[in-house]
């Protein structure tokens, strides 16, 4: 069966309303839209008197997790997973419909069929949910979920404190703002701006949210970005950026390894760059961690498959984001990467 809508929002609202205990989940490593989507469904279900819990498979950035507030959200550690226990009579899967993104909870969800429903805005997915609404034109999954909240008859301001924290509107805005790149991407259309207006009207503190999500780095992280950028080099006529971070860089800046995440994306600001590689030295473990990123297909339809590139170093991932770990010194590994992409 194609990954397409096979029911209505009204029918899904009725499934939630008539359930006793609902589990809401999303893809592993939740981003802003995944987190916002789970929180919006949990808050709306609880507002109509249905017990609901959010189950997230980490890792999950602390700033995102802080949006959960007092809501019942379980963070599953992939290395030591807790599985759902007790009697749930409905599972709602949001912002994904792909088994590959649900790995740890997949066996539990398979056992729950046919009591799994889905709401998503991605083009591809599997038979995870027996009943689902899939609308790829929505700028975020939360831009679809607002229809579910409306169908349940819950006001968007529900659950919020005086500053709008903890409301359904806040959860919807979290997904809408992050998935549209704060309304810069092409998926921010008239409907997304109209929804933003509704959410701000419902009490969302958009400036506080922007600061919490986009302006909350440590000074150490920004200094570490400086170290990486000062090592910036190019291969293949400037189309591939290569950066490196040494153990000494981490010591000098005081940044943790986790604070290095995302730095690989910085060279993507450069027009000519199609892919970026960051090599991070872990002297204690005697390995170098490689992160690969590439841009989606350009006007000519061409793109660099970094999954294939990472596979040459025993790693893997996705077409536009992948990683690998290699033994050796930083110089050796960077030389090998440069040689591999040169070809
Ligand atoms: Mn999304």
Centroid of ligand 1 to alpha carbon of 238 (angstroms) = 31
Show Cβ contacts of residue 317 under 8 Å, excluding neighbours closer than 6 positions.
292, 306, 307, 310, 323
Work out whether strand 131-134 and strand 21-25 pair parallel, antiparallel, or are unpaired: unpaired
Which tens digit of pLDDT belongs to each residue from 97-121? 999 999 899 999 999 999 999 999 9
Whether cis (ω within 30° of 0) applies to the bond prior to 213 is no
3-19 pLDDT tens trace: 999 999 999 999 999 99
The Å distance, Cα 264 to ligand 1 centre, comes to 21
- Cα–Cα distance for residue pair 89/22, rounded to 1 Å: 6
Q: DSSP assignment, residue 188?
A: -
Burial class (CB in 10 A: 0-12, 13-18, 19+), 284: exposed
Q: Which two tokens stand for residue 234?
A: 């190019």
Q: Is 258 exposed, middle or buried (0-12, 13-18, 19+ CB in 10 A)?
A: exposed
Report the pLDDT averaged over residues 36-42.
98
* Centroid of ligand 1 to alpha carbon of 75 (angstroms): 19
Question: 267 CA to middle of ligand 1, Å?
Answer: 24
Alpha helix ranges (H) inside 258-328: 306-311
Q: How confident is the model at residue 343 (pLDDT cuts 50, 70, 90)?
A: confident
CB 192 within 8 A of CB 143: yes
Q: Which residue has the higher pLDDT, 298 or 338?
A: 338
Q: How far is the CA of 140 from the centre of ligand 1 (A)?
A: 5
Q: How far is the CA of 183 from the centre of ligand 1 (A)?
A: 14
Local structure of residue 267 (DSSP, 8 states) = G
DSSP character for 157? T
Cα 192 to ligand 1 centroid, rounded to whole Å: 13
Q: Report CA(308)–ligand 1 centroid distance (Å).
A: 25
pLDDT at 85: 87
Cα 139 to middle of ligand 1, angstroms: 8
Both tokens of residue 38?
């789970």
Strands (E), 105-185: 116-120, 131-134
Name the band, by pLDDT with cuts 50, 70 and 90, for residue 302: confident
Q: How far is the CA of 81 from the centre of ligand 1 (A)?
A: 24
pLDDT at 314 (0 to 100): 93
Distance 142 CA to ligand 1 centre (A): 8
Q: What 3-state DSSP class applies to 123?
A: coil
pLDDT band at 31 (very low <50, low <70, confident <90, very high): very high
> How would residue 261 be classed by pLDDT, with cut points 50, 70 and 90?
confident
End-to-end alpha carbon distance in the chain: 41
Task: List residues bridging with 287 in a β-sheet.
Answer: 282, 327
Give distance in angstroms: CA of 175 to centre of ligand 1: 7
What count of residues does the chain have? 343
pTM summary value:
0.85
* CA separation for the pair 1, 21 (Å, rounded): 28
Lowest model confidence (mean pLDDT) among 90-94, 142-146, 173-177, 217-221:
217-221
Contact (CB, 8 A) for 258 and 243: no
Tokens of 74: 């379980």
Neighbours of ion ligand 1 (CB under 5 A): 33, 95, 141, 179
CA 285 – ligand 1 centroid, Å = 35
Ligand 1 centroid to residue 20 C-alpha, Å = 27
Tell me the domains of the chain and their CATH numbers.
Answer: 9-214 (3.90.1640.10), 219-342 (3.10.310.30)
182 vs 173, 281, 294, 326, CA distance in Å?
A: 10, 33, 21, 36
Q: Find the 210 Cα to ligand 1 centroid distance in Å.
A: 18
């Amino acid at each position: 069966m194609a990954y397409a809508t096979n029911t209505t929002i009204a029918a899904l609202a009725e499934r939630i309303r008539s359930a006793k205990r609902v589990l809401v989940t999303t893809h592993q490593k939740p981003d802003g839209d995944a987190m916002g989507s789970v929180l919006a469904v949990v808050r709306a279900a609880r507002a109509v008197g249905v017990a609901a819990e959010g189950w997230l498979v980490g890792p999950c950035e602390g700033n995102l997790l802080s949006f959960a507030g007092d809501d019942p959200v379980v963070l599953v550690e992939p290395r030591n997973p807790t599985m759902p226990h007790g009697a749930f009579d409905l599972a709602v899967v949001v912002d994904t419909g792909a088994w590959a993104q649900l790995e740890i909870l997949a066996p539990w969800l398979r056992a729950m069929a046919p009591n799994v429903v889905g709401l998503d805005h991605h083009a591809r997915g599997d038979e995870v949910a027996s009943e689902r609404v899939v609308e790829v034109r929505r700028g975020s999954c939360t831009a679809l979920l607002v229809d579910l909240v409306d169908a349940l008859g819950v006001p968007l301001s529900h659950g919020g404190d005086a500053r709008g924290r903890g409301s359904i509107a806040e959860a919807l805005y979290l997904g809408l703002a992050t998935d549209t790149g704060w309304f810069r991407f092409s998926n921010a259309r008239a409907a997304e701006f109209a929804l933003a207006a509704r959410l701000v009207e419902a009490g969302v503190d958009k400036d506080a949210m922007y600061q919490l999500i986009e302006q909350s780095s440590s000074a150490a992280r920004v200094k570490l970005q400086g170290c990486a950028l000062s090592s910036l080099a190019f291969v293949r006529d400037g189309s591939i950026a290569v950066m490196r971070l040494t153990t000494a860089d981490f010591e000098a800046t005081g940044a943790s390894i986790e604070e290095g995440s995302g730095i690989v994306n910085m060279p993507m600001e450069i027009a000519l760059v199609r892919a970026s590689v960051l090599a991070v030295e872990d002297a204690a473990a005697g390995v170098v961690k490689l992160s690969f990123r590439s841009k989606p297909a350009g006007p000519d339809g061409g793109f660099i498959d970094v999954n294939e590139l990472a596979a040459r170093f025993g790693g893997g991932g996705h077409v536009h984001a992948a990683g690998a770990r290699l033994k050796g010194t930083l110089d050796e590994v960077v030389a090998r990467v440069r040689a591999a992409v040169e070809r």
